Structure 1
Amino acid sequence: MDGEEAIRKAYESILKHDFEQAIAWFERAIALKPDRAEYHYKLSITYARSNKLEKAIVHAREAVKLDPRDEHYTFHYNHLQAKALLFQAEKLFEETDERLWLAVAFLKQAVELDPLSLEAFLLLSIAYARLQEFSLAIQAVKELLKLDPQHAIGNRLIEEYQLKWRQYMQKAFPSGTLSERVEIKDESDH
């Protein structure tokens, strides 16, 4: 048996919804031809679909290492790394608010790795809002809405954050002059 035959068997297993068997066939193909980037990439995708993120990242990294010029491999690897950062950030949401700045750092890195991640922008906006950083929360939601203008939660949150931001500015600058100028600027951004 050669690597290509093992790959065919892996795809047959996928068509039968037997992902564990598909993983075994992809691993066999890699054992036969460890220097084939596409084998690592295909195994990485199957691991990711089977919620085995750490193993998926290992093989995505190997595919990029073997063929750094392939944009698909790099995009997939970045997407998986961003997903891992999202999971780390979500865990921090369950802890004290002091840990939210670390979550923000993870989410900013996730957005850099995967600028199409709706979930990363959404969580980033929520983290900023919990930290009372409403202008940053608004910016994150706006990025989310650029990607998906119909995002129901995003549309609800932007209204909520803009209201909270105005209230914050009115408390901070009761004379109204600064908050009126900033409010006009913010509305022109929309």
Structure 2
Amino acid sequence: MNGENQIQKAYESILGHDFEKAIEWFEKAIAEEPDNAAYHHKLSITFARSNKLTKAVEHASKAIELEPANEAFRFHLQVLNARELVDQAKRQLNHSSAHPERAIFLLKEAIVLDPLAIEAYLILGEAFALRRDYSRAYQTVMEAVRLEPLHELAKQHAALYQLKLQQGSDPKRK
């Protein structure tokens, strides 16, 4: 027996916006064919879309274990790992006594893994701003604007950091 029937039902569930049901169907397909890397990959994507990052990483890793040469699977895992780093950085910055250095390190790593992670650029800009390094904050969010020119929040942050820079360089304000 194979899991193709369950995969079809998973896709039907996704089309019906029932991601929990889709997860169940993908899991049933994996129960039928536990060594099918594509099934693990598809389940990982669905977990990621449902913000169940730990499970998404688990199945993405399993897909790579089963098909180590698959570049699409590797890229997906990199993006998931970048999301994990962004989440860690957010938690780091949310601590009232936190210093932004650790978050900056995590966010730079996230950007290496996923250079298109707009959220990482925005939070990195915030971390630089916490250090009052408005020049780097501005440069960082401008990279986000370059990647996604219509991103309103990125443009707002860029304008704010540019204003902070101008205020800092104005001799009357010092």
Larger relative contact order (Cα-Cα within 8 Å, sequence gap ≥ 6): 2
Structure 1, 62-71 or 45-54: larger mean CA deviation: 62-71
Q: Give the 3 Å change call, closer, same or farther, for CA 150–16 of structure 1 in structure 2.
A: closer
Distance 2:45 2:151 in 1: 27
1:97-125 alpha-carbon deviations (Å, 9 max, x no partner): 54321111111111111100111101101
Query: Are 1:62 and 2:62 counterparts?
Result: yes
Tell me which residue corresponds to 1:183.
none
1:75-97 alpha-carbon deviations (Å, 9 max, x no partner): 21111111121111112222135
| Counterpart residue identity of residue 70, structure 1 | N
Query: Are 1:39 and 2:25 counterparts?
Result: no
| Counterpart residue identity of residue 145, structure 1 | V
Distance 2:17 2:41 in 1: 19
| Counterpart residue identity of residue 104, structure 2 | V
Tell me which residue corresponds to 1:179.
none
1:20-42 alpha-carbon deviations (Å, 9 max, x no partner): 22212211221222221110010
Q: Give the 3 Å change call, closer, same or farther, for CA 98–18 of structure 1 in structure 2.
A: closer
- Output aligned runs, 1:73-112, within 5 Å: 73-96=73-96, 98-112=98-112
Structure 1 gaps of 5+ residues are: 175-190
Secondary structure in 2 matching 1:34: coil
Tell me which residue corresponds to 2:53.
53
Q: Give the 3 Å change call, closer, same or farther, for CA 159–16 of structure 1 in structure 2.
A: closer
| Offset at residue 132 of structure 1 (A) | 1.2
Structure 1, 132-141 or 55-64: larger mean CA deviation: 132-141
Tell me which residue corresponds to 2:163.
163
Q: Which runs of 4+ in 1 moved over 6 A?
A: none
Query: If the length of structure 2 is used for normalisation, what is the TM-score?
Result: 0.87
Distance 2:100 2:160 in 1: 20
Distance 1:164 1:65 in 2: 48
Aligned residues: 172
Distance 1:156 1:27 in 2: 43
Distance 1:158 1:23 in 2: 39
- Output aligned runs, 1:136-147, within 5 Å: 136-147=136-147
Question: Is contact 2:92-2:98 (8 Å) kept?
Answer: no
Query: If the length of structure 1 is used for normalisation, what is the TM-score?
Result: 0.80
